[in-house]
Structure 1
């Protein structure tokens, strides 16, 4: 398990773990829309996954109206990306990007960090309300915990988890990912 600490500002399409900016995606990627309101989802984070990366999106078009906390309601999406990746085309409308880009620097767990902790990679989820580990939509197997995300250090870089935290999961064999949050 590794902590993810605030690594400072980053370039919008930097190939590093980060919150905000523009997702790095494979050719042909189509920006996801919320299945509840129909508007484009907001890009939240890009995290490392061996091999590849996980990109996380959730609906912030009318906060509180879409079930963006639920892994299966359609108001959030997570994707496993492998292979050559490049910056996505960002929709012109909707709440699609965070106000700033923050690098997430891995830091060994169990050692003091001087920077704010913004999440962690690996280990087990630290549930707030109870275990909600999703099943893979392709094979129905319980997904593997990938990362936990805190809201952020300031308003411009924060995800709106209602004071809670986000959880990212993936299914390695199927290449599926899921995201949910609790408060």
Structure 2
């Protein structure tokens, strides 16, 4: 699985991964298909140093920053935290795998600006992160 993002949210830090071993051949758009996963980490996280040599596989790194929607910015915006999903298809909000309650929308991610380093959400798609606060569970899916 390819690491996509880590998002600091109310329940902890959500780390999002999705299948890119054979793009287009795994059901990485499905929140419950097994080709993607969102993990919730709680407590203090310590960043790991970048290896001195070898390939890191991160062609580009983009940081999401809190930015008020009503103020202009020169920075490209590649997603948002909270609010409501701006779905490209029908509502696909998943149920929590533990308690079966409908999960809450947490974040929306866009593919990126450079084709060579962007996430593969089928060309122009968006990724959606959902969470269940009581169970500390998260899920990820994308639509195009």
Q: TM-score, normalised by structure 2?
A: 0.88
Higher strand share: 1
* Whole-angstrom distance in 2 between the partners of 1:99 and 1:58: 16
* Whole-angstrom distance in 1 between the partners of 2:37 and 2:19: 9
Equivalent in 154, 166, 169 of residue 127 of structure 2: 166
Shift of 1:87: 4.6
Match of 2:32 in 1: 72
1:32-54 Cα deviation digits (max 9, x unpaired): xxxxxxxxx00000011124211
* Whole-angstrom distance in 1 between the partners of 2:8 and 2:63: 12
- Matched residue count: 136
1:68-127 Cα deviation digits (max 9, x unpaired): 000000000001110122357xxxxxxx94422222121101222222110001000001
* Whole-angstrom distance in 2 between the partners of 1:74 and 1:87: 27
* Whole-angstrom distance in 1 between the partners of 2:7 and 2:97: 21
Match of 1:116 in 2: 76
* Whole-angstrom distance in 1 between the partners of 2:139 and 2:77: 22
Match of 1:38 in 2: none
After TM superposition, list the pairs within 5 Å mapping 1:19-168 onto structure 2: 41-87=1-47, 97-162=57-122, 163-168=124-129
Higher relative contact order, structure no. (Cα contacts within 8 Å, ≥ 6 residues apart) = 1
Q: Is the 8 A contact 1:151 1:159 kept in 2?
A: yes
> Would the alpha carbon gap of residues 179 and 145 (structure 1) be closer, same or farther in structure 2, given more than 3 Å must change?
same
> Would the alpha carbon gap of residues 108 and 157 (structure 1) be closer, same or farther in structure 2, given more than 3 Å must change?
farther
Cα RMSD of the aligned pairs, angstroms, is 1.6
1:113-166 Cα deviation digits (max 9, x unpaired): 222110001000001011000000000000010000000121344110012100
Task: Find the residue that maps to 1:155 and give its secondary structure.
Answer: coil
Q: TM-score, normalised by structure 1?
A: 0.70
* Structure 1: gaps (5+ residues): 1-40, 89-95
* Structure 2: gaps (5+ residues): 49-55
